[in-house]
Amino acid sequence: MQVYPTELKRLPDERLLLIGWSDGQRRTYGYRELRDHCPCATCREKRRQTDQAPAANLLPVLGPGEDQPLEITGMKPVGNYAYSIAFSDGHDTGIFTFELLRELGTLERPGSGTP
C-alpha cells in the first residue's frame, strides 16, 4: 500500500520542512538537503559529472546565490505520487516522488517536536 503525505508544514525557525505520512511517520527535511537530491535530469547530470570529475576539480566552489539561505518557495502535488518543489534559487523542475521523500529527511521521534 502506498503511503502519502497527510501533513505539510514549513518550520521557519529550524528552516525545515515537515511531512506527516499516512502511516504515522513524521519526517523533517532540510531545504538544502532536498535541493541537493533534486531528481530532475539537469541535477542528476550535474551530480554524475561531479562524481566523475578528477580529484583536482573536487575543491568546493561557491556559485552565485549559493551563499544565500535557500528557501522552499512552493510545493505542488503532481498526480497522486509526487510533489514538485520550487526553490528560492529559481529551480522548480524537480519532481520528488513520495518514494524519494521517504528515503530523505530525518524521522522525527515520537514525542519530540510540539510540546
Residues at the interface with Zn ion (CB under 5 A): 38, 40, 43, 94
Whether the Cβ atoms of residue 19 and residue 105 lie closer than 8 Å to each other = yes
Q: In the complex with Zn ion, which residue's Cβ is closer, 27 or 37?
A: 37
Q: How far is the CB of 36 from Zn ion (least distance, A)?
A: 10
Q: In the complex with Zn ion, which residue's Cβ is closer, 54 or 90?
A: 90
Strands (E), the chain: 5-11, 16-21, 26-30, 72-78, 82-87, 94-97, 106-107
Quick one: which of 28, 49, 29, 27 has its CA closest to 37?
29
Q: How far is the CB of 39 from Zn ion (least distance, A)?
A: 7
Q: How far is the CB of 81 from Zn ion (least distance, A)?
A: 18
Whether the Cβ atoms of residue 81 and residue 2 lie closer than 8 Å to each other = yes
Q: In the complex with Zn ion, which residue's Cβ is closer, 38 or 101?
A: 38
Q: In the complex with Zn ion, which residue's Cβ is closer, 16 or 38?
A: 38
Q: How far is the CB of 91 from Zn ion (least distance, A)?
A: 6
CA–CA separation, 2 vs 17, rounded Å?
A: 21
